[in-house]
Structure 1
Amino acid sequence: MRSEYVEAVLALVELVPPGAAVAYGDVAELLGSGGARQVGSVMSHHGSSVPWWRVLRASGEAPQGLGAEALQFYLAEKTPLLGRYLDFIRTGEGRWRVDLMAARWAPDDHDFDLIDSIAERLERQLHKLSAPDDEMTV
């Protein structure tokens, strides 16, 4: 995966505020590049330095294998949850998920300006890398 894409995904994830969440596909859509699987791959391999728990599956399920750890963050940030998360805390049993309808991040104008800047920088970097040599000298 190109480092430019990794950097753009991580920069966007850092914008998601506490208590909010986005799906992998939301990140790709906001960047205007890649898809849910590519964002998931970035988060899986490089996401430990950003609030990874705020990026999840479209179903609202926490990243695979990280549910118990993510739940602690969700509770601390008062992220809206659905299901039997209290049972999960007590016994390790019970299914739960983030209520993505309630928790989905709605960027404001300032956020969109930052997102646009990240997406434009990514586009310039990717175009520069893919441009033939004669285009780069113009």
Structure 2
Amino acid sequence: MDARRELIVERVLRAVELVPPGRVASYGTIARICGIGPRQVGSILRHWSDGLPWWRITSHAGDFGGDLLQRALPHWDEEGIRVKPNGLGCRYADYAADADELERRWREAVADLPDPDDVEG
């Protein structure tokens, strides 16, 4: 993996780590904060989410695809996140992390990293 890609991955993983217990953030929210696309966030989580609270990152509707919801449920139960009546995920409006606060904390968390645009890859 080139240096620029490694830096982008690190910035996304730091954002994911900052989502508080009992809250969720959408792939799009993390993407906006990190300056990339939502699909890139999903790809990064697919490959590098071990040890991270990946269950706190959902679609914009609070949903998960595939078997992710079943894998997330034990974590959600522990954190007090309830599944909405349609059974696809949580009510995003009820559990969304404060995006502005998340971005503020993320900027502090990545202050030691160079901007990806300044790194050759």
Give 5+ residue unaligned stretches, structure 1: 85-94, 132-138
Report the 3-state secondary structure (helix = DSSP H, G, I; strand = E; otherwise coil) of the residue aligned with 2:89: strand
Q: Distance in 1 between matches of 2:41 and 2:103?
A: 19
What is the CA distance between 1:78 and its match in structure 2?
0.4
Give, in angstroms, the shift of residue 50 of structure 1: 0.5
**How far apart are the structure 2 equivalents of 1:51 and 1:125?**
24
How far does the alpha carbon of each residue in 1:22-53 deviate from its partner, in whole angstroms, 9 at most, with x for none?
A: 1101001122x111000000011111221000
Structure 1 segments (4+ residues) deviating >4 Å? 118-122
After TM superposition, the score normalised by the length of structure 2 is 0.82
- Per-residue deviation, residues 91-132 of structure 1 (Å, max 9, x unmatched): xxxx331111110001575x544312345555x34233249x
Task: Verify the 8 A CA contact 2:83 2:90 in the aligned structure 1.
Answer: yes
- Other-structure match for 2:88: 96
The residue type equivalent to 2:107 in the other structure is: D
What count of residue pairs does the alignment treat as equivalent?
118
Higher helix share: 1
Identity fraction in percent: 29
Displacement, 1:63? 4.8
Residue in structure 2 matching 1:17, options 9, 13, 20: 20
Aligned residue number for residue 114 of structure 1 = 105
Tell me which amino acid in the other structure corresponds to 1:126.
P
Distance of 1:102 and 1:43 partners within structure 2: 23
The residue number in structure 2 matching 1:8 is 11
Larger radius of gyration: 1
